[in-house]
Amino acid sequence: MLTRIDHIGIACHDLDATVAFYRDTYGFTDAHVEVNEEQGVREAMLKINETGDGAASYIQLLEPIRDDSPVAKWLAKNGEGVHHIAFGTDGDVQDEADGIAAKGVRVLYDAPRRGSMGSRITFLHPKDAHGVLTELVQKP
């Protein structure tokens, strides 16, 4: 079952400056930063709150590290802003994806890939989700 908004992904040109904006403007200070080579990003997860299932919600800031990465491509076309929404599942993310695929939505990966903080992730095609790139997340 999808139980929460795990994170909102926001594309940015300068990760450090954008983290500073979220820290100074909103007071979000709990930041986890990592590089995801496969996805072509350096990213920061800013924790917002704990949720009832013991997980949390995050703002995810994404800076491309390669010109051919999805985020670089998206930034070149749209500029900075909301890139995707991610729903968290309390079960197996592949089972969740299979159930959604059975409803006619394209799942972008054959098998889950590594996401932030050791999570297992997959994506749904934005053209099948009313224009929203949608990620499914299973916490480790």
Chain positions contacting ligand MC0, by CB under 6 A: 9, 36, 39, 41, 43, 60, 62, 70-71, 73-74, 83-84, 86, 108, 115-116, 119, 121, 123, 125-127, 131, 133, 135
Q: Which of 41, 38, 39, 33 is nearest to 13 (CA)?
A: 41
Instruction: State the minimum distance, in angstroms, from the CB of residue 27 to ligand MC0.
Output: 23
Closer CB to ligand MC0, residue 24 or residue 78?
78
Amino acid at 8: I
Determine how β-strand 134-138 pairs with β-strand 81-89.
Answer: parallel
Closer CB to ligand MC0, residue 21 or residue 33?
33
17: part of which helix (H) or strand (E)?
helix 15-26
Cα 88 to chain centroid, rounded: 10
Instruction: State the minimum distance, in angstroms, from the CB of residue 119 to ligand MC0.
Output: 6
